[in-house]
């Protein structure tokens, strides 16, 4: 699907500068379609440095929540997570601890469940409410019902963290990845990627490590 861009651009420029005759017009339209399609492919998911967009999603308390509601926040720890995934469960207490530690410092946790509950019944909105109550989540736990937000962010698994930092009214993605280097045992963690990244941002520095990978449960989606 992806064309080598330079030759593609050359062709496009050639076509644009030439007088357009019907046959070429068709070609041009086809190329335009390809261009849009390839942009679509490239635009999937944020990279560190990108500007993140806001969203409006339903919280477990029934209220709609947007990042814009948090006027005093300096940034956000957006975590795509869910009920059913063993990795998400293993990290629940650590997510609560991160929120408690950093909310007062201007970086609250915003948890989002991206899964389609028709594929994973455990991740239904009702079950989200239950889980949030049982664990006394100190942060909003939002439901990405249309599954648009996780796609825009490019999240692929749970848990998947995006740290955003406010700058000139924009939300810049400063870290993408995992919470730390030991999903099994919090007491054996050596590298706290998320905490280190927020600590750096608080000191107006860039995180040393801004991208990590982790094993996680794939996000369940029909399309």
What is the binding site for another protein (CB under 8 A)? 84-86, 119-120, 156-157, 177-178, 181-185, 188, 190-191, 193, 212-220
| Least separation in angstroms between CB 60 and another protein | 23
In the complex with another protein, the residue whose CB is nearer, 139 or 175, is: 175
Residue 198 CB, nearest distance to another protein (Å)?
18
Q: How far is the CB of 109 from another protein (least distance, A)?
A: 20
Nearer to another protein, 108 or 177 (CB): 177
CB of 160 to another protein, least distance (A): 9
3-class DSSP string for 103-159: CCCCCCEEEEECCCCCCCHHHCHHHHHHHHHHCCCCCCEEECCCCCHHHHHCCCEEC
Q: How far is the CB of 120 from another protein (least distance, A)?
A: 7
When the beta carbons of 115 and 165 are compared against another protein, the nearer one is: 115
Residue with Cβ nearer another protein (147 or 156): 156
Give the H/E segment covering residue 58: strand 57-59
Q: Which is nearer to another protein, 131 or 220 (CB)?
A: 220
Kindly state the smallest distance separating residue 142's Cβ from another protein, in Å: 21
**Whole-angstrom distance, CA of residue 59 vs CA of residue 119:** 20
The structure tokens listed for 168 are 């000139």
**Closest to another protein by CB, 108 or 216:** 216
Number of neighbouring beta carbons within 10 Å of residue 108: 23
Neighbouring C-beta atoms of residue 10, cutoff 10 Å: 10
Burial degree of 101 (CB within 10 A; 0-12, 13-18, 19+): middle
């Amino acid at each position: 699907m992806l064309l080598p861009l330079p030759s593609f651009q050359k062709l496009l420029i050639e076509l644009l500068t030439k007088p357009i005759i019907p046959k070429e017009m068709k070609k041009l339209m086809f190329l335009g379609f390809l261009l849009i399609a390839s942009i679509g492919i490239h635009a999937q998911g944020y990279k560190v440095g990108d500007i993140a967009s806001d969203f409006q999603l339903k919280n477990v308390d029934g209220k709609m929540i947007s990042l814009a509601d948090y006027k005093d926040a300096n940034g956000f720890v957006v975590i795509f997570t869910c009920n059913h995934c063993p990795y998400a469960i293993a990290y629940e207490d650590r997510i609560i601890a991160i929120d408690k530690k950093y909310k007062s410092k201007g970086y609250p946790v915003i948890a989002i469940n991206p899964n389609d509950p028709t594929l994973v019944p455990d991740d239904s909105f009702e079950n989200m409410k239950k889980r949030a109550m049982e664990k006394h989540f100190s942060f909003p736990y939002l439901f990405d019902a249309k599954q648009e937000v996780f796609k825009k962010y490019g999240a692929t698994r749970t848990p998947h963290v995006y740290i955003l930092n406010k700058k000139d009214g924009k939300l810049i993605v400063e870290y993408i990845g995992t919470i730390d280097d030991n999903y099994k045992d919090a007491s054996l963690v050596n590298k706290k990627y998320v905490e280190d990244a927020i600590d750096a941002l608080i000191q107006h520095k860039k995180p040393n490590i801004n991208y990590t990978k982790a094993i996680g449960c794939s996000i369940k989606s029909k399309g």
